[in-house]
Amino acid sequence: MFGAAWSTGVYLCFDWPFDGERVTPQVNAEGADPILVVGGTGDPITPYTGARHMARALGDGVGVLLTAEEEGHGTYPQNGCVVKAVDRYLRTGRIPASGAVCRGDMS
């Protein structure tokens, strides 16, 4: 499923010695400037539902979801549309329009 590039790296954390936290931390950032959250619809490592949840949890007017209709893990810097939106956000603070979608174009 992950191909040759992932064949040795996919199990790097299988024996991680920590159980991790079972409590969901509060991430509401009410009153903060907009925070851009990028989620890929076909990401097998960080599912899109998590990005949707994070954007909602940050609060109205704060969490802004940019959807990348893309297969694979990580869309930055592979997807040109995502790169443009993220770079603009980091340089100017301008966020994409609500509901913005980047179509698949990873190379």
In a domain, 55, yes or no: yes
Residue 66 vs residues 38, 50, 98: alpha-carbon distances, Å: 5, 13, 8
Per the domain annotation, does 107 fall within a domain?
no
Q: What does DSSP say about strands 63-71 and 35-42: parallel, antiparallel, or unpaired?
A: parallel
Residue 106 burial by CB count (10 A; 0-12/13-18/19+): exposed, middle or buried? middle
Cis peptide before 47 (omega within 30 of 0): no
The pTM assigned to this predicted structure is 0.76
Per-residue pLDDT tens digits for 76-107: 888 999 999 999 999 999 999 988 999 987 65
Residue 59 domain-assigned (yes or no): yes
- The answer to whether residue 94 is domain-embedded is yes
For the beta sheet containing 63-71, the strands, ordered from the edge strand earlier in sequence to the opposite edge, are 35-42, 63-71, 101-102
In a domain, 5, yes or no: no
- The reply to whether 78 falls in a domain is yes
pLDDT digits (tens, 9 = 90+) for 32-77: 999 999 999 999 888 999 999 999 999 998 999 999 999 888 888 8
C-alpha gyration radius of the chain? 16
Which run of H or of E encompasses 51? helix 48-58
Domain carrying residue 33: 28-102
Render pLDDT for 3-42 as a digit per residue (tens, 0 to 9).
555 555 555 666 667 666 667 778 889 899 999 999 999 9
pLDDT, position 14: 61
How many domains is the chain built from?
Answer: 1
Give the residue among 37, 87, 97, 95 at the shortest CA–CA distance from 63.
37
Task: Please indicate, yes or no, if residue 12 is contained in any of the structural domains.
Answer: no
Question: Is 8 within the bounds of a domain?
Answer: no
